[in-house]
Amino acid sequence: MIDFGAMTNALVACDADKITGLVNDALAAGTPAADILNKGLIAGMDIVGEKMESGDMFIPEVLMAAQVMGSCVEILKPMLGEDDDVSPGSVIIGTVKGDLHDIGKNLVAMMMESAGLEVHNLGVDIAPESFVEEIKKKNAQIVCLSALLTTTMPAMKQTVDAIVESGLRDQVKIMVGGAPVTQAFADEIGADGFSADAGSASKMAKSFAAD
């Protein structure tokens, strides 16, 4: 019986040694990597978020938790791939301007790579004009925008608008995601797709690439 709660607690306590031990033990016991990610790690980051909101955790501690989460994701990475089918399709992904959150965006990038897509991860705080430049440089077919703050959601619309103004809109599918983003918002700003998590984002990108 895997104790996902112990993983969650170790993440909230930023105890890297303990959590990496628990993750490795769970993998050795045959626990699916996706369960460890969802039931142990993401559950822990949700508690970190609540503590951040209530003032029980401060930014340096949240950053430490994010680093610990990153190390665990590195351990899980080889096991998280969906399948070995290689499909064509060049994807660029980035967190929009003003937003520094990258854990979820990196998970999405990783799942898409595992699904055989060519992924160019631009990083965080990416301006609309930089997305446009990168679409041209990488000849991208799919653009993925991530935002974790309600205050940076407007930057998603600005990015879609910049792509329209550049004349490249017909060449790319635009996908959006991140905790505050919804299907209704995606529709409102003229995106082609919304995904709530990394797995469904990867599936959607594969289906766009196959079009």
Residues that bind ligand B1M (CB under 6 A): 42, 45-46, 48-49, 52-53, 59, 62-63, 66, 98-105, 107-108, 144, 146, 148-151, 175-180, 195, 197-198, 201
Q: In terms of CB distance, is 119 or 132 closer to ligand B1M?
A: 119
Rounded Cα distance, 172 and 190, in Å: 12
Q: CB–CB of 87/209 below 8 Å?
A: yes
Residue number with the shortest CB distance to ligand B1M? 104
Neighbours of 140 (CB within 10 A): 23
Q: Minimal distance in Å, beta carbon 164 to ligand B1M?
A: 18
Measured from the CB atom, the residue of 22 and 175 that comes closer to ligand B1M is 175
Residue placing its CB nearer to ligand B1M in the complex, 41 or 132? 41
Q: How far is the CB of 1 from ligand B1M (least distance, A)?
A: 25
Angle between helices 59-80 and 16-28 (to 10 degrees): 20
Q: How far is the CB of 96 from ligand B1M (least distance, A)?
A: 10
Q: Where do the H-state alpha helices sit in the chain?
A: 4-12, 16-28, 33-35, 43-54, 59-80, 103-114, 128-138, 153-165, 183-189, 198-210
| SS3 state at 134 | helix
Nearer to ligand B1M, 10 or 148 (CB): 148
Residue of 165, 164, 159 lying closest to 181 (CA atoms): 159
Q: Please state the closest distance from residue 209 (CB atom) to ligand B1M, in A.
A: 13
Best CA proximity match to 138, nearest among 105, 175, 91: 91
Rounded least distance, CB 129 to ligand B1M, Å? 19
Residue nearer to ligand B1M on the CB measure, 112 or 132: 112
